[in-house]
Amino acid sequence: MVGTIEQKLASLGITLHTPRSPVANYVPFVRTGNLLTVSGQVCYAPDGTLIAKGKLGAGLTLEQGAAAARGCAINLLAQLKVATGDLDRVMRVVRLGGFINSAPDFLDGPKVMNGASDLMVDVFGDKGRHARTTVGVASLPSDAAVEVDGMFEII
Amino acid sequence: MVGTIEQKLASLGITLHTPRSPVANYVPFVRTGNLLTVSGQVCYAPDGTLIAKGKLGAGLTLEQGAAAARGCAINLLAQLKVATGDLDRVMRVVRLGGFINSAPDFLDGPKVMNGASDLMVDVFGDKGRHARTTVGVASLPSDAAVEVDGMFEII
Amino acid sequence: MVGTIEQKLASLGITLHTPRSPVANYVPFVRTGNLLTVSGQVCYAPDGTLIAKGKLGAGLTLEQGAAAARGCAINLLAQLKVATGDLDRVMRVVRLGGFINSAPDFLDGPKVMNGASDLMVDVFGDKGRHARTTVGVASLPSDAAVEVDGMFEII
């Protein structure tokens, strides 16, 4: 039996790959009560390359940034799948934190972050509507264009 | 009947306007259990203009920054009012996250963020004393000087 | 009676000093239910000097950065000790947020942040394995090299 959310993912043409493990002394997610806190996911594609590399406002387009944010969200889903076994156990996307690798004069972080937010609502419907904070940061690991972390309510 | 906290707001001369809705696929707040997570609020005044625009350490004064942070806190209160219906249901301001639009050599983020922290304590008293993290970021949406998000315990 | 975790700290040669209080209208930590949210800790040594000052990628080495992150983690432990009275009451390090004072081209934030993550696992073992988000920020209070905040499950 494939759950409702995973059928939705399939209909969107999204395959969740087994996420890589962190290479340091931290873990991809921690559950406490019904809250699942997921580590910051940078915009890696399944093949290990970055979907977009560098800074918004210094070479990357909004479209590239939004695609990167969407990729971060897919990586969050892959972690959620490992954490829950079944994405139907996700009751709510509580919060996304969006960190946009930004030149000092780049002001459109929210448009970039919409790539992540839209995916969550496409996948989870109203349960995907989340609180969100978007900021432009000076640098990100591996020069990734976007990093997104998340908090989820699960059963 | 006007609640205690709203009487306090009135005594401070603060009117909470109906907050604007996010223009994307996210929501202003999410409740999970007794925790309310509120999206990052930038320093918009009720008339839709920014209270302060640009970077601390590059033109803006500490006073302008602190006024902007205070404005972010008022916007958090406006969201709290919608979420709770009655601000007396706020049991604790748990955490504020302060993001200061900063030139690389601006070191006084905490003094800016005090504009938000002081307001919470002025309004809620001891219940307003919160954990806080303040950092200087490379850019913020619409070139706002300050963005603040929050976590609250409510009943 | 000294608890297990405090014996572990002693074996690591770590002494927890009484943390300084915030000098503004916020508090070092807030408990809500079993969750303890701890304010951002910058890399102060017990003598009040910064363990590392300035930006990674602009003068500081990875080793200096990691030592600073470790110092932030020790400051989190000192706050945890005050909050719990006994570090054996820490059930889980849920999340660390790592903010690295970074030049725009500094890409090794995770290696810096490992200084904090490694300490948590050295001290708490598997209970110390946490979710983590690491970003490079434009500036930090007092020009500290690193700031780390945390969320903990306690009993």
pLDDT at B1 over 70: no
Contact present, A100 and A134 (Cβ < 8 Å)? yes
Contact criterion met (CB < 8 Å) for B38 and A131: yes
Q: Is A105 an 8 Å CB contact of chain B?
A: yes
Nearest chain B CA: its distance from A114 CA (Å): 7
Q: Which domains does chain C have, with CATH numbers?
A: 4-17+41-154 (3.30.1330.40)
Sign of the dihedral defined by the CA atoms of residues B121, B124, B130, B136, in that order = negative
Instruction: Note whether A139 contacts C: Cβ–Cβ < 8 A.
Output: yes
Phi, psi of C89 (to 5 degrees): -85, 0
Check if A26 contacts C (Cβ < 8 Å): yes
Q: Which of C60, C62, C91, C95 to mutate to test the interface with A (most CBs of A within 10 A)?
A: C95
Confidence of residue C21 (pLDDT cuts 50, 70, 90): confident
Sort out which chain A residues have CB atoms less than 8 A from B139's CB and list them.
57, 100, 102-107, 109, 135-136
Q: Is C133 close to A104, i.e. CB distance below 8 A?
A: no
C147 CA: distance to closest CA in chain B (Å): 8
pLDDT, position C130: 98
Whole-angstrom Cα distance, residue A149 to residue B31?
A: 18
| Partner chains of A (3+ C-beta pairs under 8 Å) | B, C
C-alpha to C-alpha distances, A49 to A80, A98, A127, B79, nearest whole angstrom? 21, 20, 30, 39
| Cβ-based contacts of B39 with chain A (< 8 Å) | 131-133
Query: Is the Cβ pair A30, C94 closer than 8 Å?
Result: yes
Q: A40, C108: Cβ pair inside 8 Å?
A: no
Contact with chain A for residue C109, Cβ under 8 A: yes
Average pLDDT over residues C81-97: 98
* Closest residue in chain A to residue B137, using alpha carbons only: A137
Return the number of CB contacts < 8 Å for A and B. 93
* A138 φ/ψ angles, rounded to the nearest 5 degrees: -75, -35
- Please report residues of B whose CB lies closer than 8 A to that of A127: none
Contact B99 A135 (CB under 8 A): yes
Lowest mean pLDDT among A16-25, B52-61, B122-131, C95-104: A16-25
What is the pTM (predicted TM-score) of this model?
A: 0.97
Distance, in Å, from the CA atom of B45 to the CA atom of B29, rounded to the nearest integer, reads 19
Q: How far apart are CA B6 and CA B15, in angstroms?
A: 9
- Enter the DSSP assignment of C58: T
**The tokens of B122 are what?**
């002025």
The CA angle A52-A85-A94, to the nearest 5 degrees, is: 60
On chain B, the residues whose CB falls within 8 A of the CB of C25 are 114, 117-118, 120-121, 128-129
Burial class of residue B14, CB neighbours in 10 A (0-12, 13-18, 19+): middle
The list of chain A residues with pLDDT below 50 reads none
Residues of C numbered 67-96 whose beta carbons fall under 8 angstroms of chain B's beta carbons: which are they? Answer: none
Task: Decide if A145 touches B, using CB distance below 8 A.
Answer: no
CB proximity A123 to B under 8 Å: no
Secondary structure of residue A17 in the 3-state scheme: coil
The rounded mean pLDDT for chain A is: 96
The span from the first CA to the last CA of chain A, in angstroms, equals: 19
Neighbours, chain B (3 or more CB pairs < 8 A):
A, C
Question: B11: distance to nearest CA of chain A, Å?
Answer: 30
Residue C20: per-residue pLDDT: 77
pLDDT digits (tens, 9 = 90+) for B72-120: 999 999 999 999 999 999 999 999 999 999 999 999 999 999 999 999 9
Percent of chain C scored above 90 by pLDDT? Answer: 95
Packing angle, helices A4-11 and A109-124, rounded to 10: 120
- CB burial of A137-152 (b: ≥16 within 10 Å; e: otherwise) equals bbbbbebbbbbbbbbb
- The answer to whether the CB atoms of C131 and A28 lie below 8 A apart is yes
What pLDDT is recorded for position B137? 98
